[in-house]
Amino acid sequence: MNGLEGIGSAFIGHAAPIPPQPLLLRFILPRPSLLLHQLPTRRAGHGPGQRVIHYMGHQAGATQPPTPHKTIHFCSQCAGPVDLKFVSSEDRWRHICSACSHVHYLNPRNVVGCIVEHEDQVLLCRRGIQPQLGKWTVPAGYMELQESTAEGAARETLEEAGAAVEIVAPYVHFDIPGIGQAYLLFRARLAPPFTFAAQAPESLETRLFPLEDIPWDELAFSAVSLALRYYVEDRRSQSWRMHHGVIRKQAGAGPNDPGSFKLTDYMGLPLGAERIQTQA
């Protein structure tokens, strides 16, 4: 399913069944402006026809990436002025201190959270803060230092939904390069005492939704819309998959604008060992 068109909640609300996807073993190559050296030889761990890709830096004459917005102005090491410079060997713009040459790296942020299930329903929160104030989402947020992704997902669920959960398995991993985020959502079960409550200021309301009542037109984020769509399809097919893909957003688009995103580089891993248990 290379190129699932993300035409927003209208598409999600009328979701057709998604055909089962095999695990696709593929090489995601760097941008064309990079000079790559491909070694045809086989090495340990690499099968026939697989290539070992070596990064060789910026290719002479290649198009230089556009200058990004300067976000760091003073050095955290010496308080000197920071300049935005293009590093040709890395094919990237970097914030570099003009006094001590310290490089200030800007890295993607990990968003972790849970699709919480209980009695054939999923737990959603109505956002109490911007962005997307008043829209529905799964409990999720930025991963903190000194915690695992699963610990962060459980913490965010407690902080936003007031719910203790049992983490079951990783479920979706979506990269969103345009906004520098990586989403990792886990399947989780509501744990004793099986209670939940909206936690201010993050959430205005917390509710369990039957799958047929998920408010597709009121979901806050594209990653959440896609994750819940896969969740519904996996329950219908009675078999879980692990989903990975890259969400490509149009420049200037909102978090879940109809027609503003698509899913590319999709890979699905069937998890046949665990069958779905439905309520009697």
Q: What are the tens digits of pLDDT across the range 64-104? A: 777 788 899 999 999 999 999 999 888 899 999 999 999 99
Question: Can you say how many angstroms the Cα of residue 57 is from the centroid of all Cα atoms in its chain?
Answer: 27
Residue 120: band (very low, low, confident or very high) from pLDDT cuts 50, 70, 90:
very high
Structure tokens at 202: 């993050």
Of the two residues 15 and 183, the one the predictor is more confident about is 183
Q: How high is the pLDDT of residue 235? A: 94
Residue 26: band (very low, low, confident or very high) from pLDDT cuts 50, 70, 90:
very low
Q: How high is the pLDDT of residue 24? A: 41
**What is the percent of the chain with per-residue pLDDT over 90, rounded to a whole number?**
66
What domains can you pick out in the chain, each with its CATH number? 4-16+108-274 (3.90.79.10), 72-105 (2.20.70.10)
**What is the percent of the chain with per-residue pLDDT over 70, rounded to a whole number?**
74
Q: How high is the pLDDT of residue 62? A: 56
The model carries a pTM of 0.76
Mean pLDDT, residues 162-169: 96
Mean pLDDT, residues 27-36: 43
Mean pLDDT, residues 102-110: 95
Of the two residues 4 and 274, the one the predictor is more confident about is 274
The answer on pLDDT for 275 being more than 60 is no
Burial (CB count <10 Å: 0-12, 13-18, 19+), residue 161: buried
Per-residue model confidence as pLDDT tens digits over 204-260: 999 999 999 999 999 999 999 999 999 999 999 989 999 999 999 998 899 999 889
Q: How high is the pLDDT of residue 208? A: 98
The answer on pLDDT for 8 being more than 80 is no
Residue 54: band (very low, low, confident or very high) from pLDDT cuts 50, 70, 90:
very low
Mean pLDDT, residues 123-134: 97
Rounded mean pLDDT of the chain?
81
Q: How high is the pLDDT of residue 272? A: 60
